[in-house]
Amino acid sequence: MATDPLDGVRVLDLTNVLAGPYCCYQLALLGAEVIKVERPGSGDLARVLGADPDRNRAGMGISFLAQNAGKKSVTLDLKAERGKSLLKQLVQTADVLVENFRPGVMDRLGLGYEVLRRENPNLIYCAISGFGQDGPRKNDPAYDQIVQGLSGVMSITGTPETAPNRVGYPLADTVGGMTAGFAIAAALNANPRGAFLDVSMTDAVISSMGWVVSNYLIGGVLPAPHGNENTTSAPSGTFETADDPINIAANRDEQWQALAQHLGRADLLSQPDFATREDRKSNRHALRRVLEQSLRTRPAADWVGELNALGVPAGPVLSVPDTLADAQSDGRGLIGTLPYGGEDLRLAGSPVVMDGIRPVAQSAPPELGADNTEIWTQLGLSVQDVEDLIEEGIL
């Protein structure tokens, strides 16, 4: 089906916490069979992370639930010789392997790309790390917070008075995971298949900073924090109203003119400080203060509706709960529901709608090792073999 473009693709997910699990979750949503290979006894660290202590104690933390629906789970001790042998057998059946260990860990285990490609020359091996497989920082531990700082993101987030600020969600993990998913999808299209994909979360974030980086490299403009102001135009930013703040992006001259006239401030159009785009940019703070004198006379909802009707882009500044309840988000079905342990588990589906259908997870997040019998007996082990290996701690 068009909504299952990765149907028939087997992915081995050896990852933990977020960047790798997010990548593999996106692949699962698009139809891939994703087998999560976890450490016996503990599994993915995300199983004990999240806002609900009871779920953490049960090994099904919210952090795990968010990124692992639609996957299968097997357990395997990669330090044991029998475990290494079983992974090699599993690799022979796979199209993709994703790991997010520090560079060199898989090689030290005797399970690096060169070893595994001998088991399967068509294997797409994706290594996600904080800084990439080479360079002076390659062996440094990397969490999202660290990458946000090293990538320059924190230096431009906030106002001149408050920066550096961390972005309010794990930006580096998520952008890194999405980048890895994009690279894997591209590699699956290659003929012949088989590749080593080196995905650096830092590289991915720097790449996503586009204009900020290019303005410095090409224009010599030193990146700086500008709060809620869009430095490419004015008036473009966040403005106070009678109740809640709104965003306005009057980036084009005709939008600026329509905004000024609608606010009853057509006089601003003839003022030298605001005559041209560059004038307005240079005097953006004075312009915002003047416009807010009019905007504070009425509530946000009124202005948003009226300005959009005039072709002036405007929108409310919503909380996360309000966003999820908003008719736009809710109406597009981004959040789906899965039956799980007697409750309805609400999870985000794919951010892409295909042929009018949004791909969603087809099964709940798996308990640790839930699919041991199914997967390992496919490789020729008996049910008794599986039970014995579990007893030995190999599975």
**Strand ranges in 106-155 using DSSP code E only, listed in sequence order:** 124-129
**Strand ranges in the chain using DSSP code E only, listed in sequence order:** 10-13, 33-38, 71-75, 96-99, 124-129, 195-200, 236-239, 246-249, 314-316, 335-340, 343-348
Whether 9 contacts 95, CB under 8 Å: yes
Q: Is 173 a catalytic residue?
A: yes
> Nearest 5 degrees, angle CA 220-CA 226-CA 230?
85
Out of 95, 173, 302, 330, pick the active-site residue.
173
Structure tokens at 15: 């990852």
Task: Please state the length of the chain.
Answer: 395
| Residue matched to tokens 């395997």 | 76
Helices (H), 122-165: 144-150
Strands 314-316 and 335-340, by their bridges, are unpaired
Structure tokens at 19: 């960047």
User: What single string gives the DSSP state of each residue in 186-228?
Assistant: HHHTSSS--EEEEEEHHHHHHHHTHHHHHHHHTT-PPP---TT
Please identify every residue annotated as catalytic: 173
